[in-house]
Amino acid sequence: MNGDAIELSIIAPAFLAGVIVLLTHIPLGALVLKRGIVFIDLAIAQIAALGVILAGIADLEHAWAMQLCAGLAAVLGAFLLTWTEKRWPDVQEAQIGVLFVLAATGSLLLLAHNPHGGEHLRDLLAGQILWVRYDQLLIPAIATVVIALLVFRRPLAGVGFYLVFALAITISVQLVGVYLVFASLIIPSLGVRSYPARRRLPLAYAVGICGYAMGLVLSLVFDLPSGALIVWMLALLAIPTHAVGARRHRVPKPAKVVAGAFDH
């Protein structure tokens, strides 16, 4: 097997994992921007990561067990955020931030005496997308299709929004890490917000797919962390995309554009 074939065997499943993540995260990211709760993805992703850490502490090393713990943690976080939104809706973004920092510092405390804690935490944050295998993608792919059908076929609100969001984050956080979860949700949607509604979804997918492809290739070429490079490629593509859209499409009410989402 030559070098090109080896590199393709590494990039192909990683790229497919990125496409699976983008399938649900781009429309969900638009909903997040519309609702004005940008940091919910970081909070839920960090809570899911906390679930993975708790599974490791309990010696639940099987992939399904860790996925279950991550899912349960994320769903509990979703129910908590649903309750806080009903109780104190005027400070929901602040409550999301508090939940994120509690989950993040809780992870640090749980891993404080683990000799490999720093490495484990780095993997959860930055991800290990280059090491994803095809056999890891079957269940996430099936679950992603189900979630995508829910997202596209009916408007999500209340507890339904938080639960679907939590499940989508649970699937993606172990594939690509917390940083890429946030970047996949927010950056493409920000980049296309100045375009007409009918063009935002395909353009956001183009930004996301090209960003993942470029980041993965460059990470192999320069031997740099793939997750970090993908985040930067997403941003570098989203910036000129937004600039072109802002120049060509003059919108009379910019405040609505900033908070806009993909119209169904």
Indicate which CATH number applies to the domain containing 184.
1.10.3470.10
- Range of the structural domain that residue 61 is part of: 3-258
In a domain, 264, yes or no: no
pLDDT at position 5, please?
A: 55
In a domain, 195, yes or no: yes
In a domain, 140, yes or no: yes
pLDDT at position 89, please?
A: 85
pLDDT at position 22, please?
A: 95
Say how far apart CA 49 and CA 54 lie, in whole Å: 9
| Contact between residue 162 and residue 82 where contact means Cβ atoms under 8 Å apart | yes
The model carries a pTM of: 0.80
pLDDT at position 3, please?
A: 53
pLDDT at position 26, please?
A: 93
Domain count, the chain: 1
pLDDT at position 259, please?
A: 43
Contacts of 5 (CB under 8 A, 6+ apart): none
In a domain, 233, yes or no: yes
The model's pLDDT over 7-58, given as tens digits with 9 standing for 90+, comes to 777 789 999 999 999 999 999 888 888 877 777 878 888 888 888 888 888 8
Q: Which residues of the chain have pLDDT under 70?
A: 1-6, 61, 63, 116-117, 120, 157, 249-264
| Contact between residue 148 and residue 164 where contact means Cβ atoms under 8 Å apart | no
In a domain, 187, yes or no: yes
